[in-house]
Amino acid sequence: MRALLSLIRGSLAFLGYTLNTLFWFVPILLLGLVKLLPIPALRKLMSHLVDGCASNWISVNGFIQNVLHPVRIEVLGDAELTRDEWYMVIANHQSWVDILVLQRIFNRKIPFLKFFLKQQLLYVPVLGLAWWALDFPFMRRYSTAELKKNPKLKGKDIEITRRACAKFKDKPVSVMNFVEGTRFQAAKHKKQNSPFQHLLRPKAGGMAFALSAMGEQIHKLVDVAIYYPGKVPSFWDFISGQVDEIRVHVTVADIASEMRGDYINDREFKQDFQEQLNQIWARKDGILKQLSGEKEIKTEVSEQHA
């Protein structure tokens, strides 16, 4: 009986998410096409309208969650957030559910989240065009082998990032980066010989490139630790009502001037940046230990029921 109920919940939720996505896709794409016109004031207006549609998209998703598969998201930390600030948001990554959690807790509290995406994701049906219209940065990273074969490609990835982020200088934005580069799995953790108990090793390149591309425009770092009691849920686990509680810790801090520099050509800066990110990750690992109940944690932010 419980399995049948989960199947019904999940199927209805998936249908709801799909219809909601298709509904908002139309105005988002149309407004995105209008942004192609070479009129700066019109582009700026369309960007605000597109982000507004996207926020409504996420709000309706939240309504579907509350009705069909309610989950208690407990948010802890010392975060003071505003929609008038530029943010760099980083988080640990375990499941596609992470994205739904981040969208839910930050929707209408900070500027709409813009995720760094692989260029191939532009071709995902419907969503790829929606992400394009929303100005999500599409990344093209070159492997070591590609760079050895064609040295002229060196620095091209940061230039692509810089052009993508140039769109974010006229209005507040939240740039989201999963700096581990992939979802946490025990096998990956072991293969990396990660020094962290709950995390993979952080990759500094993407974050460093984004900070360099944005210049002084972005100066607040939102550090998010996501913990799932019991087990890490799949997308189906989440939408079928098999997740009762999620714990999230949010910290906001100024981005130090030492975190801005030439990551490609300045070897000393590259090493210093990686070390600073390792320190952030060590603190996050400690927070995840606390969220898991290994240590007592003080609640400083009230529970959120988005």
SS3 of the chain: the string is CHHHHHHHHHHHHHHHHHHHHHHHHHHHHHHHHHCCCCCHHHHHHHHHHHHHHHHHHHHHHHHHHHHHCCCEEEEEECCCCCCCCCEEEEECCCCCHHHHHHHHHHCCCCCCEEECEEHHHHHCCCHHHHHHHCCCCEECCCCHHHHHHCHHHCCHHHHHHHHHHHHHCCCCCEEEECCCCCCCCHHHHHHHCCCCCCCCCCCCHHHHHHHHHHHHHCCEEEEEEEECCCCCCCHHHHHCCCCCEEEEEEEEEECCHHHCCCCCCCHHHHHHHHHHHHHHHHHHHHHHHHHCCCCCCCCCCCCECC
Confidence of residue 17 (pLDDT cuts 50, 70, 90): very high
Lowest mean pLDDT among 8-12, 153-157, 161-165, 280-284: 153-157
Quick check: 62 pLDDT over 80? yes
For the segment 207-231, the average pLDDT, to the nearest whole number, is 88
Q: Look up residue 223 and give its two tokens.
A: 């550090």
Share of the chain above pLDDT 90, in %: 66
Give the CATH number for residue 280: 3.40.1130
Confidence of residue 207 (pLDDT cuts 50, 70, 90): confident
Burial class (CB in 10 A: 0-12, 13-18, 19+), 52: middle
Quick check: 208 pLDDT over 80? yes
Mean pLDDT of the chain: 88
Give the number of other Cβ atoms within 10 Å of residue 161's Cβ.
24
Amino acid type, 55:
S
What is the crossing angle of helices 267-291 and 205-214, to 10°?
Answer: 110
**150 inside domain:** yes
pLDDT value, residue 305: 37
For the segment 269-278, the average pLDDT, to the nearest whole number, is 93
**285 inside domain:** yes
pLDDT in tens, 121-157: 888 999 999 999 999 988 776 666 776 778 776 666 6
For the segment 280-300, the average pLDDT, to the nearest whole number, is 77
**160 inside domain:** yes
Q: Which residue has the higher pLDDT, 161 or 302?
A: 161
Quick check: 80 pLDDT over 60? yes
State how far the Cα of 179 lies from the Cα of 219, in Å rounded to an integer.
18
pLDDT value, residue 300: 39
CB of 161 within 8 A of CB of 209? yes
Quick check: 299 pLDDT over 60? no
Quick check: 269 pLDDT over 70? yes
pLDDT value, residue 165: 75
**25 inside domain:** no
What is the crossing angle of helices 205-214 and 156-165, to 10°?
Answer: 50
State how far the Cα of 283 lies from the Cα of 290, in Å rounded to an integer.
11
Residues linked to residue 118 through DSSP beta bridges, in sequence order: 139
Q: Which residue has the higher pLDDT, 152 or 55?
A: 55
**56 inside domain:** no
pLDDT value, residue 157: 67
CB of 249 within 8 A of CB of 74? no
Q: Which residue has the higher pLDDT, 297 or 157?
A: 157
**15 inside domain:** no
Global confidence as pTM: 0.88
Structural domain count of the chain: 1
CB of 207 within 8 A of CB of 177? yes
Structural domain containing residue 187? 72-291
**301 inside domain:** no
Residue reference for tokens 């507004």: 52
Quick check: 267 pLDDT over 60? yes
Q: Look up residue 147 and give its two tokens.
A: 């760079």
**20 inside domain:** no
Share of the chain above pLDDT 70, in %: 92
Q: Look up residue 103 and give its two tokens.
A: 């969208």
For the segment 255-275, the average pLDDT, to the nearest whole number, is 87
